[in-house]
A = this chain, B = another copy of it.
Amino acid sequence: MTDAIDARARAVRTSGLVRIVGAGLLGSSIGHALRALGVDVVLADASPAQLRLAVDYGAGRLARDDDRPDLVVVAVPPDVTADVIERELGAFPDAVVTDVASVKLEPLLTLRERGVDLSRYIGSHPMAGRERGGAIAARADIFFGRPWVICRDEETSARDLAVVEGLALDLGASLIEMTPEEHDRSVALVSHVPQLVASLLAGRFVGAEDASLRLAGQGVRDTTRIAASAPELWVQILGANADPVVEVLDALAADLAGVARALRDPDAPGARRAVADTIRRGNEGVERLPGKHGQNRRFETVVVMVDDTPGQLGRLFGDLGELDVNVEDFRLEHSPGAQFGLGEISVVPSAVTVATDGLAARGWKIASLND
């Protein structure tokens, strides 16, 4: 698992000291990734507890008075992003400052209104995240293979641009150049509206019968998975990107009204066709998404039935240890009332046969391999 990062260690572009302000998911993840490349990373966070956690986990070190960062990465919530960018530009007059906020136009307009000299600032946005937040969820690999939007403008020097691009490339991301407006319209469509739609759909379950919800399957679980996201952050993101979000929402509302009308009056001219077209356009749209077949499937999964009694997982992992199989990820699915759980063991592809045959020989019931 460390190979991907180690292999690139010789070509590290980021040099000097990197200061990361905000030790949450993105900030701490950037810290872990840079530390793995041997870069000196200093962390700051308004929350002493979050900062301590991030430092304990190895995402970076505490600040010292003589720190002179070459690059400052602002990874704080959207509503304080402009303030922190302004403060960091002032505090470190030799540093390039970037931010990783999900909305790019509003902080820029705020800073311009205040007359801040933005020649050393370059907005950016790594398209990476997890539904869980905080330093505890940080992972060095969340940027790997993901797009990283960089918003340069005519003020941006080639040297400063190279610093921010180097950070993105060092973390394994691929660069996309966009204007702040293009970025904000794009994330409204592929991130902010999907979040709202998932939340609205899941919101319909609040008043539903228990029995109805028991029928829920993987489809609706996937469709609403991101509805588990944190309200505080999303209120800020949606508020800061309201115009592009509302534009997509309005179009979606019109589409929704159209299909509801067709279902209500199926004998009206074109009604059946309208329903079919909705599903067909959905087919076409989902085909256009990149990587729909899971580009990051570096691991395969072996599923094992595990009795619901103490000691069973110990025996399982003991057996895996004896087989010299390194478990990259493990998840236990446990259905209420069932006498057993399903343990999903992620391993590198070359270990699948060893794990499957070895566990079966030790009496484990292998439930299934990958689809």
Contacts and interface: CB of A to CB of B under 8 A. Distances in A.
A193 B216 CA distance: 12
A17 interface: no
A15 interface: no
A86 to B, nearest CB: 23
Contacts of A62: none
Contacts of A111: none
A12 interface: no
A120 interface: no
Contacts of A208: 189-190, 288
A2 B365 CA distance: 9
A321 B330 contact: no
A134 interface: yes
Given A217-B191, A221-B292, A368-B141, A284 B318 contact: no
Interface in A236-261: 238-239, 242, 245-246, 248-253, 255-257, 259-260
A278 interface: yes
Interface in A259-291: 259-260, 263-264, 266, 272, 275-276, 278-291
A216 B290 contact: yes
B139 A203 contact: no
A341 B145 CA distance: 10
A244 to B, nearest CB: 10
Contact of A202 (B6, B29, B174, B282): B282
A138 to B, nearest CB: 7
A69 B368 CA distance: 30
A336 B28 CA distance: 13
Given A227-B286, A281-B202, A320 B313 contact: yes
A194 interface: yes
Most buried by B among A223, A308, A318: A223
Given A208-B189, A289-B221, A229 B33 contact: no
Contacts of A348: none
A279 B229 contact: yes
A332 B313 CA distance: 13
A251 B203 CA distance: 10
Contacts of A186: 209, 211-212, 215
Contacts of A219: 129, 131, 191, 194-195, 198, 225-226
A200 B278 contact: yes
Contact of A285 (B35, B227, B245, B263): B227
B190 A220 contact: yes
7 contacts: A1-B308, A1-B337, A127-B215, A127-B216, A139-B334, A190-B216, A208-B288
Give 5 nearest A-B pairs by CB, closest first: A199-B282, A36-B337, A314-B317, A205-B285, A311-B321
